[in-house]
């Protein structure tokens, strides 16, 4: 495949955009080479500016769960845009999607829409602090909750890829209120609570991690966090920006049968447009302005285009609950096929999967947290990524990212991917 036009566009972008990209992982620094500039997409495929068709395994990092250019979403966007794109005033759409989301997700009474997953997580932590009158939070090394200062303490994904997990610009005062624990390590969380029995406002966690590859919670881990929060009067925040409406209609809370006090959402809820949200019980949400003293606002929050796209997407998911089982089976087909083909080689490997999230790690050590994810052989990953790209398959350009499958993928797409996978790993 040729990428001459992508290369030309990237050089032009570098002149006016830091690093030539508007989100760091797109820059290909973790894998080398030139980022691919996309021209259009449809279903399970991306079409780049050089005329190449790529099978898409990132789904815009999650939101395109039903595939690109999904007709009900495009129709809703078109009809809404004709009426106006932003008002800074309430619309009926906001109430409609709020009612639908509260019906779909368990354990929540009210929801507030914002503009991104970062904003949702930032607001959730502020609300937790305002509700508990405490300042400290516990997060897990390798989990990424957006680029708010409180979260860039050993963050995952792009922060790890670029070797700057503690970002310059984050003050020591902010950092001291973020307490770190290894993912899947309940004993360490217990020890932190014992050190700060009355100081912790909340735990924030990706219930299924997706920013150090896909890492599922071990048995009893989330249940143990729930019990510790109850014991010490802290809140449990599930960052469901990736898992919400992807693992199940009710997200990780439904799939894993563990209740959070606050949950944050993004990705799927916007149907491909920039949107985020956070939800909680009436008791907690009543502390939020204008009803309570915890301030949060946004001129574009509840933007009609985002609300229309999200409403169309969630209605489609609500109308076809069998989609989740179908997508799980496609991901299982990919997993088992990869396992079969790589098992006969001498390559070190671990394959993690949960629902429609999956990742390949080039290590013999089970990947259960950030430290074990970081043991993966990045030279193997680079060669693997570019090998698959030459075969017409677009994977996350970082070893610290989960794949996200979409329902438009066919079994033929997956079988082609597996044939390509076999060819590529034989060359590693």
Catalytic residue status for 183: no
Closest to 329 in 3D by CA, of 317, 320, 341, 337: 337
Please name every residue paired with 53 in a beta bridge, in sequence order, or none if there are none: 47
Evaluate whether 245 touches 251 at the Cβ level (below 8 Å). Answer: yes
239 is a catalytic site residue: yes
Gap between the Cα atoms of 67 and 44, Å rounded: 5
pTM of the model: 0.94
Q: How far apart are CA 388 and CA 46, in angstroms?
A: 14
Best CA proximity match to 278, nearest among 251, 315, 247? 251
Given a contact cutoff of 8 angstroms between Cβ atoms, the answer to whether 143 and 183 are in contact is yes
Q: What is the spatial distance between Cα 127 and Cα 134, in angstroms, rounded to a whole number? A: 11
CB atoms within 10 A of CB 152: 22
Q: Which of 29, 136, 267, 330 is catalytic?
A: 267
- Give the list of residues 6+ apart from residue 159 with CB closer than 8 angstroms, or none: 144, 152, 165, 167
Residue 161: predicted pLDDT: 35
Catalogue all structural domains in the chain, each as residue range(s) with its CATH number. Answer: 4-68+321-426 (3.90.1150.10), 71-319 (3.40.640.10)
Looking at residue 329, what is its pLDDT? 98
Q: How far apart are CA 338 and CA 418, in angstroms?
A: 6
Q: Which of 48, 56, 177, 239 is catalytic?
A: 239
What whole-number distance in Å separates Cα of residue 167 and Cα of residue 174?
12
Query: Which member of 3, 57, 144, 265 is catalytic?
Result: 144
Q: Going residue by residue through the chain, which has 428 residues, state the pLDDT in tens, using 9 for 90 and above.
A: 778 999 999 999 999 999 999 988 888 988 999 999 999 999 999 999 999 999 999 999 999 999 999 999 999 999 999 999 999 999 999 999 999 999 999 999 999 999 999 999 999 999 999 999 999 999 999 898 876 656 666 544 444 433 334 566 666 767 778 899 999 999 999 999 999 999 999 999 999 999 999 999 999 999 999 999 999 999 999 999 999 999 999 999 999 999 999 999 998 999 999 999 999 999 999 999 999 999 999 999 999 999 999 999 999 999 999 999 999 999 999 999 999 999 989 999 999 999 999 999 999 999 999 999 999 999 999 999 999 999 999 999 999 999 999 999 999 999 999 999 999 999 99
Residue of 307, 321, 323, 324 lying closest to 101 (CA atoms): 307
pLDDT in the model for residue 1: 76
Which three-class secondary structure state does DSSP give residue 109?
A: coil
144 has catalytic annotation:
yes
């Amino acid at each position: 495949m040729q990428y001459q036009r992508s290369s030309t566009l990237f050089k032009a972008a570098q002149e006016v955009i830091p690093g030539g990209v508007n989100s760091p992982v797109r820059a290909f620094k973790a894998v080398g080479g030139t980022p691919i500039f996309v021209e259009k997409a449809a279903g399970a495929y991306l079409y780049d500016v050089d005329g190449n068709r790529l099978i898409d395994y990132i789904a815009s990092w999650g939101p395109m769960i039903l595939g690109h250019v999904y007709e009900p979403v495009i129709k809703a966007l078109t009809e809404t845009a004709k009426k106006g794109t932003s008002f800074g005033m309430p619309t009926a759409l906001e109430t409609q999607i709020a009612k639908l989301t509260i019906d779909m997700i368990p354990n929540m009474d009210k929801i507030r829409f914002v503009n991104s997953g970062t904003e949702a997580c930032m607001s959730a932590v502020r609300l937790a602090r305002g509700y508990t009158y405490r300042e400290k939070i516990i997060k897990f090394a390798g989990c990424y909750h957006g680029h708010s200062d409180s979260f860039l303490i050993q963050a995952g994904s792009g922060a790890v890829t670029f070797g700057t997990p503690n970002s310059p610009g984050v003050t020591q005062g902010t950092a001291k209120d973020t307490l770190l624990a290894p993912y899947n390590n309940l004993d360490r969380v217990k020890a932190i609570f014992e050190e700060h029995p009355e100081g912790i406002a909340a735990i924030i966690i990706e219930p299924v991690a997706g920013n150090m590859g896909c890492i599922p919670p071990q048995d009893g881990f989330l249940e143990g966090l729930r019990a510790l929060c109850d014991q010490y009067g802290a809140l449990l925040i599930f960052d469901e920006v990736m898992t919400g409406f992807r693992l199940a209609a009710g997200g990780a809370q439904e799939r894993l049968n563990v209740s959070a006090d606050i949950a944050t959402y993004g990705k799927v809820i916007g149907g491909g447009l920039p949107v985020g949200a956070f939800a909680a019980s009436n008791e907690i949400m009543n502390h939020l302005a204008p009803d309570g003293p915890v301030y949060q606002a946004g001129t574009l929050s509840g933007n009609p285009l985002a609300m229309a796209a999200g409403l169309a997407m969630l209605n489609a998911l609500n109308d076809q609950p069998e989609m989740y089982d179908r997508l799980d089976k496609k991901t299982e087909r990919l997993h088992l096929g990869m396992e079969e083909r790589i098992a006969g080689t001498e390559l070190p490997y671990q394959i993690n999967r949960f629902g429609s999230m999956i990742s390949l790690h080039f290590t013999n050590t089970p990947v259960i947290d950030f430290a074990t994810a970081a043991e993966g052989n990045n030279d193997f990953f680079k060669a693997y990524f570019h090998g698959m790209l030459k075969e017409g398959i677009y994977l996350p350009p970082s070893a610290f990212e989960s794949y996200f499958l979409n329902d438009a993928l066919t079994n033929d797409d997956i079988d082609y991917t597996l044939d390509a996978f076999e060819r590529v790993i034989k060359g590693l």
